Structure formats: structure tokens, C-alpha cells
Structure 1
Amino acid sequence: MDKDRLVKSSKMYVLDTNVLLHDPLAFLCFQEHDVVIPMTVLEELDHIKDRKRDVSRDARVAIRALDEVLRDATPEQMLKGVLLPDDKRSSELPRGKLIIVNDHLFADSISGLPGNENDHRIINCAVYLQKQYSDAKVVLVTKDINMRLKAKGAGLHYVEDYRTDQLIDDVALLTSGYKKVPGDFWQQVGECETEQQGRDALHHVSRELVPDVFANEYLLDETGHFAARVVQYDDTHITLKDLGVERLMSRNAWGVKPKNIYQGMAMDALLDPDIELVLLTGPAGCGKTILALACALEMIIEKGVYDKLIVTRNTPEIAESIGFLPGTEEEKMAPWLAAITDSLEVLHKGDENPISSRNYIMEKANIQFKSVNFMRGRSIQNAVVLLDESQNLTASQLKTIITRCGAGTKLICSGNLAQIDSSYLTPLTSGLTYIVERFKHFEGSATINLNGVVRSRLASFAEENL
């Protein structure tokens, strides 16, 4: 490797395998700094790429992306470093290099760790480079918390998590989908132009009142009467759709009425065909599933806006298997989607025979239980897609589902970031967190956080004391 080049670059990032599995193009995200890929990482990618698991696809994408950069390089150039693509940045800015390091040739400089462990080899590679290039900042980047602890214990000065794809630093900063304006909103409005569009009143107010709004964000004030939704906005003005708290609270879908303003805002977004993506977040028991299901049935059966309801969710092992028991896809998915059948029974508990009513409605609304595995390669037209427990999916898996939604399809994603079952995800890296932040400026999406919903006394007590 070119020692002078590394010293000039001041930073050298050594990537662990799990970083490339998390984001196959991660090596392109370090701007003008050098990126080091140990040979052990390439070996691990090679072992993973042929497995029949979802992560194998990411391994293959990473390998192809690395080959695209290194395809025409000689062995000497690969070891010295190949310039990374400029990624459409200014040609005046310096570019880092992608360097493949044969870490098997490095002497073992760490005692106390098992010699054949791949993690040990990668840590040893970073420690070796730190000693050889003392004027450069050598950083090991890994998603493995335990590996970060071991690396620091082995004497590595700089160890970091991969955070390029994290749009927020704290889940508490996650967009709630609504803002509470202090005081009386209309007392703060100076000039206001109002127009009538059918039954809706649209108000054009100054952007200075709420400078950081986004598409379909709801506004409330402290009077308990004002409620509006942002329809459009530019640098100077915001167009608000006047809703009013009483109007939101009078919403009704399949016999379900909102218990408070948060559920009212959720039902407003769910019942609006112009909003193609609705994201519902909040704790267990706050009504995410039953609201989504009631609104879907209202739009399919009563209003005839959509043709069917497709319900899906992640299954164990990161949505990679739905089991090998006999039965159809829907029969295998039924246990994982019991929340839907339970909610249907609640919606029809007043009927003479709730079970018969549930089965009739499932046929009438053409409710289909599908696996995430089989979403790729199809297009879903004129349907409501309910994606339950979406906090356990990655951004890549959510992209697969979102891109399947064809014309006239409404996607509802619900999830609780406090109940992530996947060992590979955290509230900050969850696909639900990612799309909530990424889609907040999309005019066809709305986010509602139902944290304000009063749950049962038992659930609330357990949340606070267990």
C-alpha cells in the first residue's frame, strides 16, 4: 500500500462483513477517505452468497459492486488502492481509494483471542494498520457490538458503528406525523386566503407560522378545536385542509370510531384514497391493527374503492421461511396473522355468530394472507396492503414491498419500535424508522404516531412497571 497516500488521506476505514451485508454499497459512502476490505471479509461474503437466505442476496450485490470498481485493476493496483467512483460529486474534491488487504499475511499482534475466528483476523488487520500507519486515523467499522468491544480491548483507538443509513440519532426524534401549535392557532394567523373545494375548506397561510412542516402533517393547537392537515407547501406559504377536532372525532369506519384525536387523525389518513402510504407507529394495544383493518373493510366493501385486502408480515428468521408444514401459503401464514383474525372477531362481536361473520367478511373483502417471500416479482393493483409488524423488516425488504404496489394500491405499514424481534435490527436501523423519515416529504404518505392513545389500565401498568 502507498503509505504517503494513506497519510495524506488522514482516515482509513476498515469494513467488517456485516457492514456490507447491511448496506452492500457501504464502501462508497466514505467520501474522500480510503476504504480497506480485508481478505477475510471477501471470504465470508463468498461463504454467505450461496446460502438460501435473504442475506445471501446482499452478499452477492456487495461482491458485484466491489467487482465493478476493481474489475480492470491489476493485483498490484488492488493492494495499492483503486480510486472510488466520484458518485457525481465535484471533480475538484479528492476521492478515496478502495484497498484489498491480504490480512492472512499479517503477524498476530493480539493475544488472548482465538486465532481462527474471522472477527479476530479483522481486528488484527485494523490493529496492524494502526501500528504501520501511525499518522493516519484507522477506524474499524462494524455493526457487531461485541466486536466493537473486543476491538477496543485489543488496543484499537477508533471503532464505529455504520450509521450512514440512519436518518436520526435518537428514536425519540422520529417524526410523529403531527405538531401541536402553542396557544390558539387562528390568533397567530395574520393574512389568510381561503378557498372551497367541494366540502373541503383550504386555507393558505404564511410558512413562518410552522416553518418545518412536511406533506400530510397534521396540526393541532391548545384550544382543542383546531385541526388541519398540510396539503401543499412552498417557501412562503402552507395550504391547510381544515378538518376540525369534532369532524375528526366523528369519523366512522366499519362501526369503529376514534377514541381520541390521535386515532381520529389516523382514520382520516387511512380513509383518504389520495394518501397511498400510511405509517402507523405506537405501542402494543394502541389500535394500529384494528383501525387499519376497519378502514380497509370500509373502503373495500362499503365504498368499493379497492378490490381486495392483502395482509402480510415478517415471519421468523427475518422473513426467510414460513415453515415446511403441509398447507397452502395462506394456511401457513394464518398463525402469524392471528392479530388480523382476532381483530375481525372484535369488529363482529355483536353479531349472532361472530365466527361465521368473520369468514363471510374475509370472503366478501377478498382478504388474502401472503408471505413477504413471494412479494418480489409481482405487481399489486387496486388493493389495500396491510403490512403488520413492519418494525422487524429492513429498509431493503420494505422497498421490495413498496415497489410492488401498482396503480390504485394503498399500503398501510404498522409497527411498534419497542418490540423488535430481529437480532439484526435496532429501533434506529429498522426499516420502519427509515421509511418514516424518508417518506415524510412524499405528498402521498402520512405518518401517525399513536403514543398518545390511552390503552387498557393493565397494558399501561405493564409498560411502566415491568
Structure 2
Amino acid sequence: MTASKLYILDTNVLLHDPKCLYEFKEQDITIPMTVLEELDDIKDRKKNVSQEARAAIRAIDEILSHAEDAATITKGVDIVIPVTAANSEMKLGQLSIFPDHELTARQGFLPQNSNKDNHIINCALHIQATNPHREIILVTKDINMRLKALGAGLKRVEDYRTDQLVSDIDLLPAGHDNLEGNFWERVEDVKSYQEGSHTYHTVSKSLLPNTYPCEYIYDDSEEFAARVATIRDEQITLRDLGVDRLMQQNCWGIEPINIFQAFAMDAVLDPDLDLVILNGAAGSGKTLIALACALEMVIEQRRYNKIIVTRSTPPVAEDIGFLPGTEEEKMTPWLSAIQDNLEAMHEHDERPQSSVKYAIEKANIQFKSLNFIRGRSIQEAIVLLDEAQNLTPSQLKTIVTRCGKGSKIICLGNLAQIDSNYLTPLTSGLTYLVERFKDYEGAANVHLEGIFRSRLAEYAEEHL
């Protein structure tokens, strides 16, 4: 029996989720030959999605390897997944490859030029015309391609949303919640106790029905501030922080300017948190706060042995080609933000450059490429992951799972500055990280508000 729907996948869908072939249930899937050519082109380039391209090719090969001959691949090969409990297989739809390079220009088709999108759209138009009894759906994450396809006469074009965790970026947790009025005036029953130097309060969950672990809570009194420690049944335990104590934090000469930076410093400095996500606009202090706290914990507190700094490396404009030198020398242009912040922290020293050099050597700061993070097990280190918004969910998973015993990872990013052609704020790995770790008691997310880089930067962020 033929499936009622036929999905045609664009390249960016396979790059976004190489396992997407198993997400269309009993419906059929077709991959145009042009998509395979694009994957082949990407897999051998030093792109931040080359790993995803190779994973997608392997997934396609795994299904098509069961084909008896070339005609079967064009007609369709069953997609099956093993069912462990029953020691059997579950049949989904069929996967086929469509030879769109054989299509000739005809009425209603887009121009057959070097534009790969046109080839894929023409493939969908041809299949729609030759299969009038089936629902043909082009799936792409490219908004402009969706518009072109609809304009060319394709009836159904969709975004790939199977793994999308939030429908609107504004729904992403901020990591902090401002309560109107005075918090304690709402509390009728509380149990307070002391553990070490920390005070905890257990209150009813009805006071904060939508809270989650490690969310920061503060009110309008400018005195109360706390962090959700645990959520058990119908009770919430808060760790009392106090606004004054938070604002008096000092790391490597850096003090918080506002309450959000104070939350960020508290999260980074807390040894009970394994993952801290700092997101916010350019100039909000993400990198400065993270680096200052990292130096404090490595040099002064000696809690960690080193600082590993890494980031994705997509070019903002035209690529400048291969860079000479060692791995760390190649990464230096990409990680100049770290150097800038180190210089800012020591600008009033008698010998600023000597102070920066001392900090780099004493804290054992290492600049590493993401390509060499894979397969490692990082022990007793702080990992600063800059520009995390440019990473896919699978790339972020690779990095986070590298953290071994005694390590902590700090992810920095700004969802308004995504440089990747294959990501949007809703599909960025940073969005997935925030949402997936929302209920993990060992992770905190803080959205920093306010821009302190300069008056010009603040105006640009608001008006450009």
C-alpha cells in the first residue's frame, strides 16, 4: 500500500538532524540527487557542519544498503528500525533517491541554473505533477526557499519542526523571575534551616507554580534574592542569596553592575553547578564575567587546573583562507574576544601586557579548536564555550559530553548573532541546551540584560 504523503527533504534538514529519516513515521521520503551532491561537497570541507553531513550520508547509506539494485533505490527502500523488546523490526515508510539531474526545463519550472534550490524545487514540482493522488511536501528550513517553492506552484511546503522544543524564542526560559511586591508578604508557611554558610527556605510550590531548578528569584524590595535549590512534590526549597551579598561579589577585580550579572557570577562560582549558560546581547558582560570567575577559581581558589577556551569558527564575511602556525595560533583570531577582556581587566595595571601574560600562564589558558575536542575527556578544567549560538544540537552534545570528573562548562552566546547558514534562533544548539537542561539541578541558565560596552553599542543593539 502506497503512503498517502511523500516528503522531499532539503539539504539543511539533513544537516540539522541527520536522524530525521526516522521521524516521518509511515510516510515516504525522497531525497533529490542534488541534495546528495551538496552533502558530498560539505562533508569534505572544513565547515562546522561537515560532521553532520557525514552523519547524514551514513544514515542514508544504512537504509539504502538493503536495496537489491539501482531501480529499487529509485522506487523506494523500506525504512526499518529494530524493536529490542520483541527482537524484531518496525517498518516505517520508504526512502528513495530521485534523479533530478535528468529533468529538463519545461513550463512552470524555475530556471535550470547553478542554483541548487531551484533544482530541488523543480524536483518537487515534477513529482507533484506526476503523482496527482499523493500529497507532495517539500521540507526545508530555508524560509526564502519555502517562499520560492510556494510561488512556483508547490502546494505544500513545511519547516522541519519534529525536534523543535519551543515555538517562539520569547518562550525560552530567562533563568530568573522578578516577582511584584515583597515575596515574604505572600508566604504563609515557611521552614528555614542552615547548611554550612547557606540559609534555605522551604515554601509551598503554589507560590512559584512555574519555577524550575536553579531559577533565580528576586522581588521589588531590592533585598530578597534566592535560587531554587530543589523541587519536591508540592514544596520548593530556596537558597537565600540576598541582593546585597550578590552585588558585593568580586572576581579578579570585576564586580557585577546589575542583578543579572550578579546571578551569572553566583552560578559560575557555585561548585555544585556543572553547566552554566550565559546568553544575552552583545556587550552585556557574558565573556567578561565568565573569564573573571574562571581566573578566580583557577588561580586564587585553585579549584580547577586549567581553562580551555573554544568556539565555533564560521566566517562573518569572506573567508581569509588557511591560517599559519600551531592549533592555538590558528585559533587566536577567533578567540580575540578573550584577549580583549583580559586586557580590559588589567588596563589599569602598571604593566598591562605583563599582567595578561601572567594570567594566561598562571591559569593555564588553552585555546582549542572544536575539531579537536571530539573524543577527549576533559578533567579538572573549566571549559569556556564562546559563540555557542552557532553550534547545532549534536555539536553541543559532543562538547558537553567531553566534560569529565571535576570539570565545569560555561556556554556563552547571543541568539541574535547567529552566523551559520543552517541555524535559526529556534534551531540553535544553544536554544536546545537551555530547554533540555531546564530541569537539571546541576545546570543554571542566566539571560543577561543591559548593555555596558558603550553608549554606541547599546544604541546599535536597540535600533539596528
- TM-score normalised per structure 1: 0.89
RMSD: 2.8
1:5 to 2, 19, 40: 2
1:17 to 11, 16, 19: 11
Name the residue aligned to 2:364.
Answer: 366
Larger mean CA deviation between 386-395 and 39-48 belongs to 39-48
Q: Where do residues 193-204 of structure 1 align in structure 2 (5 Å cutoff)?
A: 193-204=191-202
Give, in angstroms, the shift of residue 74 of structure 1. 3.3
1:113 is aligned to 2:107: no
Name the residue aligned to 2:251.
Answer: 253
1:314 is aligned to 2:312: yes
| 1:335 alignment partner, SS class | coil
Give, in angstroms, the shift of residue 177 of structure 1. 0.6
Q: Where do residues 124-273 of structure 1 align in structure 2 (5 Å cutoff)?
A: 124-273=122-271
- TM-score normalised per structure 2: 0.89
Deviation readout 1:173-206 (Å, 9 max, x if unpaired): 2221111223322222232222211111122222
1:352 to 327, 331, 350: 350
Larger mean CA deviation between 352-361 and 260-269 belongs to 352-361
| 1:248 alignment partner, SS class | helix
Name the residue aligned to 1:384.
Answer: 382
Compared CA separation, residues 459 and 59, structure 1 to 2 (3 A): closer
Name the residue aligned to 2:448.
Answer: 450
Q: 1:74 & 1:461 partners in 2: Cα distance?
A: 63
1:30 is aligned to 2:27: no
Give, in angstroms, the shift of residue 15 of structure 1. 0.8
Compared CA separation, residues 309 and 226, structure 1 to 2 (3 A): same
Give, in angstroms, the shift of residue 149 of structure 1. 2.5
Q: 1:95 & 1:251 partners in 2: Cα distance?
A: 56
Q: 2:296 & 2:354 partners in 1: Cα distance?
A: 19
Give, in angstroms, the shift of residue 451 of structure 1. 1.7
Give, in angstroms, the shift of residue 287 of structure 1. 1.0
| 2:292 alignment partner, SS class | helix
Give, in angstroms, the shift of residue 413 of structure 1. 1.1
Q: 1:158 & 1:89 partners in 2: Cα distance?
A: 36
Compared CA separation, residues 342 and 410, structure 1 to 2 (3 A): same
Q: 2:348 & 2:104 partners in 1: Cα distance?
A: 74
Q: 2:320 & 2:442 partners in 1: Cα distance?
A: 32
C-alpha contact (below 8 Å) 1:322/1:371 kept by paired residues: no
Q: 1:41 & 1:121 partners in 2: Cα distance?
A: 9
The letter of the residue matching 1:71 is S
C-alpha contact (below 8 Å) 2:12/2:422 kept by paired residues: no
Give, in angstroms, the shift of residue 24 of structure 1. 1.1
Deviation readout 1:331-380 (Å, 9 max, x if unpaired): 22223222222222222223211111111121111111222222113221
Name the residue aligned to 2:61.
Answer: 67
Give, in angstroms, the shift of residue 38 of structure 1. 3.0
C-alpha contact (below 8 Å) 2:23/2:162 kept by paired residues: yes
C-alpha contact (below 8 Å) 2:283/2:452 kept by paired residues: no
Compared CA separation, residues 72 and 370, structure 1 to 2 (3 A): closer
Aligned length: 458
Q: 2:31 & 2:420 partners in 1: Cα distance?
A: 27
Deviation readout 1:60-87 (Å, 9 max, x if unpaired): 3222222323333434655554443458
Q: 1:89 & 1:365 partners in 2: Cα distance?
A: 48
The letter of the residue matching 1:405 is C
Name the residue aligned to 1:300.
Answer: 298
C-alpha contact (below 8 Å) 1:315/1:322 kept by paired residues: no
2:95 to 86, 94, 98: 98
Q: 2:109 & 2:66 partners in 1: Cα distance?
A: 40
Q: 2:437 & 2:83 partners in 1: Cα distance?
A: 24
C-alpha contact (below 8 Å) 2:282/2:461 kept by paired residues: no
| 2:332 alignment partner, SS class | helix
C-alpha contact (below 8 Å) 1:322/1:333 kept by paired residues: no
C-alpha contact (below 8 Å) 2:47/2:314 kept by paired residues: no
Residue segments in structure 2 that go unaligned for 5+ positions in a row? none
The share of aligned pairs that are identical, in percent, is 59
Deviation readout 1:205-227 (Å, 9 max, x if unpaired): 22222222222111112222211
The letter of the residue matching 1:434 is Y
